[in-house]
Amino acid sequence: DPYADDPTRHSALKVNTQRPFNAEPPPELLTENYITPNPIFFTRNHLPVPNVDPDTYRLNVAGPPGGQSLCLSLDDLYQFPKHEVTVTLQCAGNRRSEMTQFKEVRGLEWSLGAISTARWAGARLCDVLAQAGHQLCETEAHVCFEGLDSDPTGTPYGASIPLARAMDPEAEVLLAYEMNGQPLPRDHGFPVRVVVPGVVGARHVKWLGRVSVEPEESFSHWQRRDYKGFSPSVDWDTVDFDSAPSIQELPVQSAITQPKEGETIEAGEVTVRGYAWSGGGRAVVRVDVSLDGGLTWQVAELEGEEQRARKAWAWRLWHLQAPLPAGKKELNIVCKAVDDSYNVQPDTVAPIWNLRGVLNNAWHRVHVHVAP
Ligand code: MTE
Ligand code: MO
């Protein structure tokens, strides 16, 4: 069993698949804290978790043509300036189960918890690439990452991001070795992972083994044959993966974590809670909540500090406390967020449905009963 050596996990996680391990925190724990505690941070593994010895670990960074490659130990990585940033990581498949309800898709049945937030620390990718002699001359180039996890044929997990993002110090792309002040837990990439603020989870390669600059995107299955969006009209007989760009920055997203679907709440007043986030560093400027399925709206209160313009890498938690109209027996609660480009969420899944069930950012809806 290649999974026999996987780490033990927190019992509160809602397990999607055991091998490989895929799990999310339940809604009520997800937004209990702005920073997600490491043991309940959602986990998305495609392969068995490698067991890496930190003493012999080496990160291979390919140099430019004619240049020299770097072979970095953990101690070598610690010599680079340590950079810290709070980043929300979201899987492209977050909220896929709502898409499935509309029409069948292929993929893990994520609820709304394939998203979490941590304070990451490590070396900036741009500093490491510069040390290897790379410059931003090839504007069309890509930085390819390989994990130390591999399938039975020996093919590692891989992904890539544009070189322009990797070399931009303002983009804050990290080779992270700390998560919330601790060494990375094994499930989250011990000893080193990539963190690409504002970009889909799939590019945050864990158990990082190799970095190279290439003229083309990674040839990995997960870069070329997965994590892409398509029209609702495309099915598995007609899909042409080369015709769509790989997902990088994600669209604006929000979801309700309290109350829960099907719950019975007390009459009088309701408190609605949730999260909101947008990709590419776009800040959340507003969350609208409806208690009547979208007929009328109230503006939720955003918690925490104002986000940095163009560098809003982490989610905003929000809440709304509202009196309930007397005699209401049921509520159809809806939320939708607006980012600082005034991007909004579509009202239903239908127009954004796709065969792989990615990029679901439709209005989130929760139906509850009111106690008499
Ligand atoms: N990196 C490696 N090496 N192997 C993987 O399976 N999964 C990716 C990404 N990096 C993956 C990986 C996907 S699809 C996501 S959503 C994130 O890791 C999840 O990170 P987490 O498990 O720390 O939440
Ligand atoms: Mo993912």
Residues of the chain with CATH 2.60.40.650: 253-370
- The response to whether residue 201 sits with its C-beta less than 6 Å from ligand 1 reads yes
Q: What is the mean pLDDT of residues 82-102?
A: 98
Tell the CATH superfamily of the 14-243 domain: Oxidoreductase, molybdopterin-binding domain (3.90.420.10)
How far away, in angstroms, is 196 Cα from ligand 2 center? 13
State if residue 21 touches ligand 1 by the CB under 6 angstroms criterion. no
Give the model confidence (pLDDT) of 322-358 as tens digits: 999 888 999 999 999 999 999 999 999 999 999 999 9
pLDDT single digits (tens) 223-279: 999 999 999 999 999 999 999 999 999 999 999 999 999 999 999 999 999 999 999
Residue 139 has pLDDT above 80, yes or no: no
**Probe residue for ligand 1, chosen from 40, 204, 220 as the CB with the greatest number of ligand atoms within 8 Å:** 204
66 pLDDT band, cuts 50/70/90, is confident
3-class secondary structure per residue, the chain:
CCCCCCCCCCCCCEEEECCCCEEECCHHHHCCCCCCCHHHCCEECCCCCCCCCCCCCCEEECCCCCCCCEEECHHHHHCCCEEEEEEEEECCCCCHHHHHHHCCCCCCCCCCCCEEEEEEEEEEHHHHHHHCCCCCCCCCCEEEEEEEEECCCCCEEEEEEEHHHHHCHHHCCEEEEEECCEECCHHHCCCCEEECCCECHHHCCCCEEEEEEECCCCCCHHHHCCCECCCCCCCCCCCCHHHCCECCECCCEEEEEECCCCCEECCCEEEEEEEEECCCCCCEEEEEEECECCCCCEECEECCCCCCCCCCCCCEEEEEEEECCCCCCEEEEEEEEEECCCCCCCCCCHHHCCCCCCCCCCCEEEEEEECC
- The segment(s) of the chain belonging to CATH 3.90.420.10 are 14-243
Q: What residue owns the CA closest to ligand 1's atom 12? A: 205
Best residue among 3, 174, 195, 206 to mutate for probing ligand 1's pocket (most ligand atoms within 8 Å of CB) is 206
How far does the centroid of ligand 2 lie from the alpha carbon of residue 46, in Å?
A: 9
In this prediction, residue 67 carries a pLDDT of: 82
Residue 304 confidence (pLDDT): 94
The band of 82, judged by pLDDT with boundaries at 50, 70 and 90, is very high
Q: ipTM for the complex?
A: 1.00
Report whether residue 147 contacts ligand 1, using a CB cutoff of 6 Å.
Answer: yes
For residue 315, the model assigns a pLDDT of 98
For 147-169, what is each residue's pLDDT tens digit?
999 999 999 999 999 999 999 99
Fold of 253-370: Immunoglobulin-like (2.60.40)
The per-residue pLDDT for 168 is 96
As a whole number, the mean pLDDT across the chain is 97
Centroid of ligand 2 to alpha carbon of 263 (angstroms): 29
Q: What is the mean pLDDT of residues 188-209?
A: 98
